[in-house]
Amino acid sequence: MDHSEQAGLGPRRLAWKTVAETMKRRVPLDDVLEELAPAEALSPRDEALARAIAIVTFRRLGTIGRALRERLNKEPRDERLMHLLAIGAAQILFLDVPDHAAVDTAVALAQEDPKLSHAGGFINAVLRRVAREKEAILAESDSWLNTPTWLEARWIAQYGEPLARKIAEAHRSMASVDLTVKEKPEDWAERLGGVLLPTGSIRLVERTAIRDLPGYEEGAWWVQDAAAALPARLLNAKPGERIADLCAAPGGKTAQIASTGAEVLAVDRSPRRVKRLEENLARLNFKAETRAIDAEKLDEPAFDAILLDAPCSATGTIRRHPDVAWTKGEEDIRKLSGLQSRLLDKAAALLKPGGRLVYCTCSLEAEEGERQAEAFLARHPDFVRRPIEPAEIGGWAECITPQGDLRTLPFQLELADHDRSGLDGFFVARFVHKGTA
């Protein structure tokens, strides 16, 4: 990076590249950011600003897109120009950034790009108009505006319009940061200034650098959404049991299982993700066998229990990863539901007679949740569902389905501080093999 360049240009350049590449390649924003950030050599603070700009661009992409289209005579052919306008508008409308900084840096970024150097005046005019008309733009922002129409239709069909609208509205807020602690959650909640949730997780109230918090270095806790912490608890692992955690990275659930004294095999197909899982376990001082292998190729039967956190569309994490709404489609759900079925069948084959299987996805889609559970039971008459009881999840009965599965929705877990409410959308089903060990 040229240290003599205009102040604030680096983070905007990284945000612009990240948004453009995420949309072009249809891959997770965090993966793109991790790939692109080293070349910019930004400070942690500037990198955090780049991420914040990119995240809010996706979180409010519907509002931003409409605001820009209404102020353009004709939409530019160059998608990168539209992405540059989008990150500028995101700062003006939704971030605590001076309007002139958002406008001037967008113009400067265009001028350093040979294909867009002619567009400086155009960018200046459009973004200044967005700034002038900010109040009017925000006043007409509808609940559904920031949800792609294909997801809107799916959620209305599955949940009904009132609940579906509440899901869409929840996605307009940032996700809170939750922690799972090894022991003494009440003490750690007080020490960290957090809120102890009914499910046992700690929700942080203040946003601060995770590594700077008490307990990080000694591995007293790890970051894990309150919903994501439930599946491993519902496995009810016991000391000495042999348990497989399939699709395990980044390792939060592996850590939960290891903390019980069980012998854990953590499997993930990505060597890079397995390395991160191992680093996380080392910080927490937990032991688990790890293996970088496709779970479908695992051939070690006789596990007492298996946790399958299956690859999915991740539509339950849109509050945390708003790019998911704009990078996934119906075809992804079809492909992933097929993979989920195969992984469930594989898990069933790896269990001892009488063994336990917990299946979960961070998806709001029935094909990846409720329908998947029913289809598994139909294919495997040697398994039965073990219903989840409210007492197992802190008495939180509203998220248990009539069938006894767990279905969390992003607007649930309401707290007095509305900005700290909500959690990831998860589906969890628990099955037991009928045979006796």
**Looking at the predicted structure, is the pLDDT value of residue 141 above 80?**
no
How many residues comprise the chain?
Answer: 437
Task: Look at the block and give the residue holding tokens 């299982």.
Answer: 257
Q: What is the pLDDT of residue 413?
A: 85
Average pLDDT over residues 112-117: 91
Least confident of 147-151, 297-301, 365-369: 297-301
Q: Nearest Cα to 115, choosing from 83, 68, 80?
A: 80
Q: What is the pLDDT of residue 418?
A: 62
Residue-by-residue DSSP string for 184-202:
-HHHHHHHHT-EE-TTS-E
What is the identity of the amino acid at 342? R
**Looking at the predicted structure, is the pLDDT value of residue 1 above 70?**
no
Residue ranges and CATH numbers for the domains of the chain are 9-139 (1.10.940.10), 226-433 (3.40.50.150)
Band of the pLDDT at 5, cuts 50, 70, 90?
A: low
Q: Which residues, including other chains, have CB under 8 Å from residue 160's CB and lie 6 or more apart? A: none
In sequence order, what are the beta bridge partners of 181?
A: 221
**Which spans in 42-196 are helix H?**
44-59, 61-69, 79-94, 99-111, 120-132, 134-139, 149-159, 161-170, 185-192
Give the separation between CA 382 and CA 27, rounded to whole angstroms. 38
Mean pLDDT of the residues in the chain: 93
Q: Nearest Cα to 315, choosing from 294, 330, 305, 297?
A: 330
Q: What is the pLDDT of residue 415?
A: 80
Give the separation between CA 18 and CA 35, rounded to whole angstroms. 9
Average pLDDT over residues 241-270: 95
Least confident of 22-36, 292-306, 405-419: 405-419
Give the separation between CA 412 and CA 319, rounded to whole angstroms. 13
For the chain, the distance separating the N- and C-terminal CA atoms, rounded to the nearest angstrom, is: 62
Q: What is the pLDDT of residue 73?
A: 81
Q: What is the pLDDT of residue 300?
A: 85
Band of the pLDDT at 3, cuts 50, 70, 90?
A: very low
Q: Nearest Cα to 426, choosing from 366, 370, 361?
A: 361
Catalytic residue (one of 247, 360, 362, 399): 362
C-beta of residue 362 within 8 angstroms of C-beta of residue 355: no
Q: Which residues, including other chains, have CB under 8 Å from residue 38's CB and lie 6 or more apart? A: none
What's the chain's Rg over C-alpha atoms?
23
Q: Is 362 a catalytic residue?
A: yes
Average pLDDT over residues 264-276: 94
3-state SS assignment for residue 39: helix
Count of C-beta atoms within a 10 Å radius of residue 170: 20
Question: What pTM was estimated for this model as a whole?
Answer: 0.93
Percentage above 90 pLDDT, the chain? 86
Q: What is the pLDDT of residue 436?
A: 60
Give the separation between CA 257 and CA 243, rounded to whole angstroms. 8
Band of the pLDDT at 414, cuts 50, 70, 90?
A: confident
Average pLDDT over residues 80-89: 96
Average pLDDT over residues 327-347: 96
Distance between alpha carbon 346 and the CA centroid of its chain, in Å?
Answer: 26
Least confident of 62-76, 259-273, 351-365: 62-76
**Looking at the predicted structure, is the pLDDT value of residue 410 above 80?**
yes
Band of the pLDDT at 435, cuts 50, 70, 90?
A: confident
Q: Nearest Cα to 302, choosing from 377, 218, 232, 244?
A: 244
C-beta of residue 247 within 8 angstroms of C-beta of residue 226: no
